[in-house]
Amino acid sequence: MPQRPEPVLLANVGKPDSWTLRVYEQTGGYQALRKAVKEMTPVQVIDVVKASGLRGRGGAGFPTGLKWTFLPKDHPGPIYMCINADESEPGTFNNRILMEDDPHQVIEGIILSCYATRATTAYLYLRYEYPLCWDRLQAAIDECYAKNYLGKNILGSDFSLDIFLHRGAAAYICGEETGLIESLEGKRAWPRIKPPFPAVEGAFRKPTVVNNIETVACVKHIVGRGADWFKSMGVPPDPTNPRDAGSYGPKLYCLSGHVNRPGCYEAPLGITCRELIDEFGGGVWKGRKGKAAIPGGISMGLLAEQEFDTPLDFNALGKVGCMGLGTAAVVVMDESTSMVDFLYNSCRFFQHESCGQCTPCREGTAWSLRMLERIRHGNGRLRDLDLLLEIGDTIGIIPGTTICGLADGAAWPIKNAIRKFREEFENYIKNTNPTGYMVTEPVPALVQLAAH
């Protein structure tokens, strides 16, 4: 078994009172902030984050330093920072652990990110269902104001910052960055058409950066330990993919489902799905074999068991037909799991969460759910599988038919489940609808019409 580096992001998790300023400072807390405001300019902080190769941990994997440079130069301000703690992707819980057990690590990362981008106000948009995070974050923010890590002229510098907690509106779509901004402004969380991107026109129509909790936690360590430390872990860019910027640094993987030891584990980017399951999760439970795994939240699609040796990084998952790494939430399914049930649950989730603005997403998620209901109830037809694939191939930002990525997230489980497990779907339909699996029944109204 390879030697894994000591956890850094989870280093304080599990220590008594790990959420207090006292414990955080005992382990070098806020030293990176002192270093930055005393020795570094904002541009130097951006440069070190760029040099580290940090890519956003919220799902899209966009390079963080590059995103920060999209803010307009010499803008009179204010510039806003929105911290995305909506964490609603099924199977994902690493942000919650960071906020509950080490809120100061998150806050130091936010302060450094605001220093770099010259943001003077940060809104932390917190998932509604996370009350303990709220309490611990608010207590930590209060401690920071008392120590002048927040407020006016932080540590004697000319940099001032306020952080406000904002309770989310309890819907998956609130995590999409422009849905989040709309919700923060007090409106329904309907994603905005882009451009303009938030960096140009975001919260309250001002330049805004949206970053994930784990992303800013990484910023704290990059400033403290340097870009080379961060780049010493992970996977370099794929020479065969000119769009791959590499996958560097430690990553928090959420492992759940049919494993012996579910949990949140820190490992360098690029660990394979099988290594994660076996080394960290203690293998598939009950002595069974694995059948499939969601590689990074349900939006990313499905890995079949024979693909478990795929590295969980930003590039490799695309090569086996998945959308990407997403939130690195791995949900394992054992050999007894029905793929029909899996896909039914997935379709039910996305149909419920679609905000309804775009016809392909609103209708596509609803129709795919109806078809899965029909299949599960023994009325499926083989041609339903091709209809489902047609929906999967035509909804989303990637085919260019919707405003936001929720529809791509709905499409990928459909495409992967049917293409990778087609035989199981066909057998299910043939067995549960032996006489009608090839037949297209006319709708009841037409039958009655024909009788008269």
Single out the residue of 84, 94, 315, 351 in contact with ligand FMN (rule: CB under 6 A): 84
Min dist. Cβ of residue 433 to ligand FMN (A): 34
Choosing from 101, 102, 176, 305, the residue that interacts with ligand FMN (CB under 6 A) is 176
Q: Is 38 exposed, middle or buried (0-12, 13-18, 19+ CB in 10 A)?
A: exposed
Minimum CB separation from ligand SF4 for residue 390, in Å?
A: 17
201 vs 80: CA distance, rounded Å: 10
Residue 59 contacts which entry, ligand SF4, ligand FMN, none (Cβ below 5-8 A, type-dependent):
ligand FMN
Q: How far is the CB of 290 from ligand FMN (least distance, A)?
A: 27
Q: Would you state the structure tokens that stand for residue 405, as one six-digit string?
A: 């990525």
Minimum distance from CB of 299 to ligand SF4 (Å)? 11
Query: Taking a C-beta distance cutoff of 8 angstroms, is the pair 122, 1 a contact?
Result: no
- Please tell me whether residue 60 binds ligand FMN under the rule CB under 6 A: yes
3-state secondary structure of 151: strand
The helix (run of H) or strand (run of E) holding residue 133 is helix 131-146
Of positions 53, 58, 109, 296, contacts ligand FMN by CB under 6 A: 58
395 binds ligand FMN (CB under 6 A): no
CA-closest candidate to residue 136, choices 95, 180, 80, 185:
95
Q: Answer for the pair 311, 289: CB distance below 8 angstroms, yes or no.
A: no
Give yes or no for a contact between 247 and 235, defined as CB atoms under 8 angstroms apart.
Answer: yes
- CA distances 399 to 84, 138, 179, 226, 411, Å, are 26, 42, 21, 39, 11
- Choice from 11, 62, 118, 321 touching ligand FMN (CB under 6 A): 62
Q: With CB cut-offs between 5 and 8 Å by kind, which of ligand FMN, ligand SF4, none does residue 177 bind?
A: ligand FMN
Nearest CA-CA partner of 417 in 296, 321, 332, 301: 301
Residues lying near ligand SF4 in the complex (CB under 6 A): 173, 191, 354-358, 361-362, 402-404, 406-407
CB 414 to ligand FMN: min, Å = 16
Q: Which does 58 bind (CB under 5 to 8 A by kind): ligand FMN, ligand SF4, none?
A: ligand FMN
Residue 174 CB, shortest distance to ligand SF4, in Å, is 11
By CB under 6 A, name the binding residues for ligand FMN: 56-60, 62, 64, 84, 86-89, 172-173, 175-177, 210-212, 215, 404-406
